[in-house]
Structure 1
Amino acid sequence: MKLREVEVSTPKMGKMTLSLMRLTVEQGEVLFDLPFEHDVHRRHRYVIKEFPVLRWSNGMPWHEANAWFVSQAPNIPLGELSISTLHSNGYALLAFMRFLEASNLAWNYLPIIDAERAINKYRGHLISERTEGHITPSTTSSRMGVALRFYRWAQRAGLLHQDCFEIITPGVINIRNRLGPLARIPQNFSNLSIPNKSRGGDVVEGGLVPLEVSERDDLLNFANHHASIELLLMLKVAFATGLRVGSICDLKLNTLEWAYADADERLFWMHVGPGVKGAPVKTKFSVNGRVLISKDLLDELKTYVKSVRRLMREAKALDSDNQLVFLNKNGKSYGREGGMQSSQVCGLLSKLKVKAVAAGLDISDFHIHRARASFGTYVVMAGMSLMPEVQLISTICFTRDLMLHKHESVTMTYVRFIENRAIKSAFADEYTRMLIGRFAESMSNG
């Protein structure tokens, strides 16, 4: 008899509609109503859709965290806070909830010994995840920052019995340019915060280390035999276009259909961004642009969307999702609503890593954003290999546009990565020759 797999319940973030009502008292009667009765446009702002609600794995709401969200809600109609920012905070606390349940800890467990406190243990957990390459330095810093802001609010609200759970040290931040210091800004530093420091060695945007071409090929070859077709295609798109996972999860059928050929017929252009009418695709900072994709990969995607497997998933999808290229087995998006990440894709990658370990392939430090970093490195390498035929500024501009970078400074991290690697390679060759020369000289003198 085959046993049915039991789905393990985990904390989740749901969405609700929150109405910010105005309370008035007339003739001893309490009345509730939306503000701006005679201004429909302004009145509509006080009905907040998709407001985040956190629940533990047993279905019970996390009352304190949800109360923190509600305390921030009045800033949304005023334009001082976006719902997407609140979603990001919710997902950051969701990661904290999963850690708490896995560690069997209460969020407000704050004994006298610092190392035993839930928030201190979470800090160590995040640093370990960053060191092992499971999350980026920026994600590490951001998640800890959200947790600390929640704790500080809880302390002000009288929800924590401890007088203090962190040590605040006054200091300054030095603002500098190439000519020297410009200003010193007072800043308080927490002993629990995690600075956004990149890992050692050469890195590109987000503190990431690109994959060598051989490493990429090994990964894709393994995924071809052991991953689902959806994950395989997502990885191929990430390596071949540089799109972020949130954009890949939001690709539309018309994104593929409306792709048009480049002068080089082996390449096609796809329009992405929220401004593409009929086929909007989420991008970071809502940037609109176009990305290159090979004809072979585009044809592979077009074949996939017409497959029985994909059409069966589309049949289960809601009207809001049925135009997505990638749908999970339940006919829903792999992407995170309102965000640029995907816990589902991370879950698929985690399963692939387990299989890889059994097969002797080490991809433990890979996460999908490294595919984007690898793509940018390959583009810059190609451009710089043509020097002096192609000016460096042309390579920078081309890479910036392909990767939808908002600022050239981000693109420059790729250029410096390639330049540093070339310099170190030349130094290593010279260093080796020097050592060999010294060794030969000592042998002749001996």
Structure 2
Amino acid sequence: MAILETIDHQPMVFDPAAKSADYGFVPNSKRKLEASFPQIFFSNGEPWHEANRYAFHRYYDLQKDIKTIHSGMSHLTRYAKWLEANNLHWLHFPKRKSERCLFQFRGHLIELRDNGLLAPSTASQVMNSVVAFYRWAAANNYAESSSRFFDSKVVKLSFLDSVGFRRTMGVVSSELAIPNRKRKGLQLEDGLVPISQASANKFLTFLAKHRNRELYLMSKVALQTGCRHETITTLNIDVLKNAYPDYKLSNILRVKVGPGTGVNTKFDVSGEIYFPSSLVNELIDYFNSAEAILRRSRANKALSKCVFITSRGNSYTRQTFGTLLYRLKDELIKAGHSEFGRFKFHQLRATFGTMLMRALMRTEGMSSLNAIEFVRDAMLHKDASVTWKYIKFIEREPIESQFLDTLWAIFTGSRDTSNEMIRHLTSGEVTREN
């Protein structure tokens, strides 16, 4: 079957006069080497030339992030595998629609979705990626006009702009689109909601006894700082040691992240994350522990300052981190916690954001706009419209105040950040400060 491979790609320029020219070409000094560029190959070893050129178009012409390119190519790989399994060419478009490859593939995705073998959101994303590829292929004369493939229409979508105002825009859709209607109720980032107190009890208690201490610490960082997984897995000892006290909040340190720090952020946003000082100390202690030193001894020099690396001495890629969480969910389900079957790591970030927004809204003299600005900076939101959702969520669907109050006490340093949290959550006790 078709496979997705990665290649080392170095853009070249034609300069036959150059001494180092190879067949008249030399590396383009303005373009960096991309060490993991995705390309699709069929089972006979032949590349899917059109799809691979499409990837280069998105990366260089549209300036898409390499992670976005990988995601889109993984969807096209799924399509390529299906084409091979059904012995169909990607330009198989007879007169009858039901026999066309795209319409057959759409039916295949819907069948997988209805049988619970594919998430509704994934089915929609795969179909959208395939349709976008065909539109590009038609526009660049790799195929006939896209009107021959499927019918298109313009639909109106409502959305919140960067400052929270509702807007409407028209987008081009096709008859091949697979609807993905979201469940009712207000949701936060990426369509997720905070975890409940009961789920937090089970999750933290289970992880505190887990053999993988790094997984426990990474989850604690997500819950107490709101960091995304790409930020957590690239934390290094330098940014922790260079953290400095916040002038507004006691027991809180600011940790710089983003370009220039070695710590990755979504959209390469530069900013400062609020860390409880005790958590920073705990991470530094772990970095100096025998377990962490052993892991770094298996790693290359480039990872010598990373706080979290795998047991084999590798960095946590999106795939390895996803595999780690998949195994964790399987362990939780086998332990009798079946509610974690659809758990997402990002829910820990949503829980932190809810806690932070609720605490600010309770603060005397704090306006909604000031609270939004604070939470936006703390969570490195690109648009304020994302932050607005936290206020609306709190107003419409409040969650357990005791749980959020406990989390806030931990964040501000008024309670110990490790065993104390688990003890109070699991026992149901509430300790009030004098």
TM-score, scaled to structure 1: 0.71
Cα distance change on mapping 1:175 and 1:104 into 2, 3 Å: closer
The answer as to whether partners of 2:236 and 2:305 remain within 8 angstroms in 1 is yes
Corresponding position of 2:341: 364
Deviation at 1:199, TM superposition (A): 3.4
Aligned to 1:320, the other structure's residue is in SS state: helix
User: Can you list the C-alpha shifts for 1:87-109, whole angstroms capped at 9, x where unaligned?
Assistant: 41223322553687699846857
Corresponding position of 1:294: 276
User: Can you list the C-alpha shifts for 1:51-85, whole angstroms capped at 9, x where unaligned?
Assistant: 61335698957534324334556xx3xxx432x53
Query: Residue type of the partner of 1:364?
Result: G
Question: Distance in 2 between the 1:227 and 1:101 partners?
Answer: 38
Correspondence for 2:108 among 114, 121, 128: 121
**1:201 equivalent in alignment to 2:180:** no
Query: Residue type of the partner of 1:145?
Result: N
Cα distance change on mapping 1:122 and 1:309 into 2, 3 Å: farther
Aligned to 1:269, the other structure's residue is in SS state: strand
User: Can you list the C-alpha shifts for 1:206-250, whole angstroms capped at 9, x where unaligned?
Assistant: 221221233223212222234622222111111111111111111
Question: Distance in 2 between the 1:165 and 1:220 partners?
Answer: 55
Percent of residue pairs identical: 26
What is the correspondence of 1:58-73 to structure 2 with a 5 Å cutoff?
Answer: 60=45, 62-64=47-49, 65-70=51-56
The answer as to whether partners of 2:231 and 2:264 remain within 8 angstroms in 1 is yes
Cα distance change on mapping 1:365 and 1:228 into 2, 3 Å: same
Question: Distance in 2 between the 1:234 and 1:181 partners?
Answer: 36
Question: Distance in 2 between the 1:205 and 1:245 partners?
Answer: 14
The more displaced of 122-131 and 344-353 is 122-131
Aligned to 2:24, the other structure's residue is in SS state: strand
What CA RMSD, in Å, does the superposition of the two structures yield over aligned residues? 4.3
The answer as to whether partners of 1:250 and 1:325 remain within 8 angstroms in 2 is yes
The answer as to whether partners of 2:38 and 2:69 remain within 8 angstroms in 1 is no
Corresponding position of 2:65: 85
Corresponding position of 1:252: 236
The answer as to whether partners of 2:79 and 2:130 remain within 8 angstroms in 1 is no
Question: Distance in 2 between the 1:223 and 1:181 partners?
Answer: 41
Corresponding position of 2:77: 97
**1:243 equivalent in alignment to 2:215:** no
The answer as to whether partners of 1:127 and 1:140 remain within 8 angstroms in 2 is no
The answer as to whether partners of 1:327 and 1:333 remain within 8 angstroms in 2 is yes
The answer as to whether partners of 1:199 and 1:207 remain within 8 angstroms in 2 is no
Corresponding position of 1:322: 304
User: Can you list the C-alpha shifts for 1:35-56, whole angstroms capped at 9, x where unaligned?
Assistant: 9xxxxxxx52356533613356
The more displaced of 294-303 and 348-357 is 294-303
**1:399 equivalent in alignment to 2:379:** no
Question: Distance in 2 between the 1:377 and 1:183 partners?
Answer: 28
Deviation at 1:265, TM superposition (A): 4.6
Corresponding position of 1:149: 132
Gaps of 5+ in 2: 17-21, 93-97, 402-434
Corresponding position of 2:407: none
What is the correspondence of 1:160-239 to structure 2 with a 5 Å cutoff?
Answer: 167-173=150-156, 185=170, 187-194=171-178, 198-226=182-210, 228-239=212-223
Deviation at 1:309, TM superposition (A): 2.3
Correspondence for 1:410 among 379, 386, 408: 386
User: Can you list the C-alpha shifts for 1:247-283, whole angstroms capped at 9, x where unaligned?
Assistant: 11111111211122346553322111114xxx33211
Cα distance change on mapping 1:184 and 1:208 into 2, 3 Å: closer
Query: Residue type of the partner of 1:66?
Result: N
Deviation at 1:369, TM superposition (A): 1.3
Query: Residue type of the partner of 2:314?
Result: K
**1:33 equivalent in alignment to 2:18:** no
Cα distance change on mapping 1:307 and 1:117 into 2, 3 Å: farther
Could you say which structure has the larger radius of gyration? Answer: 1
Aligned to 1:145, the other structure's residue is in SS state: helix
User: Can you list the C-alpha shifts for 1:123-171, whole angstroms capped at 9, x where unaligned?
Assistant: 66579889969xxx5x775554333222444566787899878532323
Corresponding position of 1:274: 259
**1:112 equivalent in alignment to 2:94:** no
Question: Distance in 2 between the 1:356 and 1:363 partners?
Answer: 7
Question: Distance in 2 between the 1:103 and 1:233 partners?
Answer: 43
The answer as to whether partners of 2:76 and 2:129 remain within 8 angstroms in 1 is no
**1:373 equivalent in alignment to 2:356:** no
The answer as to whether partners of 1:269 and 1:292 remain within 8 angstroms in 2 is yes
The answer as to whether partners of 1:11 and 1:55 remain within 8 angstroms in 2 is yes
Deviation at 1:404, TM superposition (A): 0.8
Question: Distance in 2 between the 1:177 and 1:69 partners?
Answer: 30
Corresponding position of 1:382: 359
Cα distance change on mapping 1:205 and 1:165 into 2, 3 Å: farther
Corresponding position of 1:53: 38
Question: Distance in 2 between the 1:130 and 1:287 partners?
Answer: 35
Deviation at 1:351, TM superposition (A): 0.8
Query: Residue type of the partner of 2:54?
Result: W
Corresponding position of 2:325: 349
Corresponding position of 2:8: 16
How many correspondences in the alignment?
A: 382
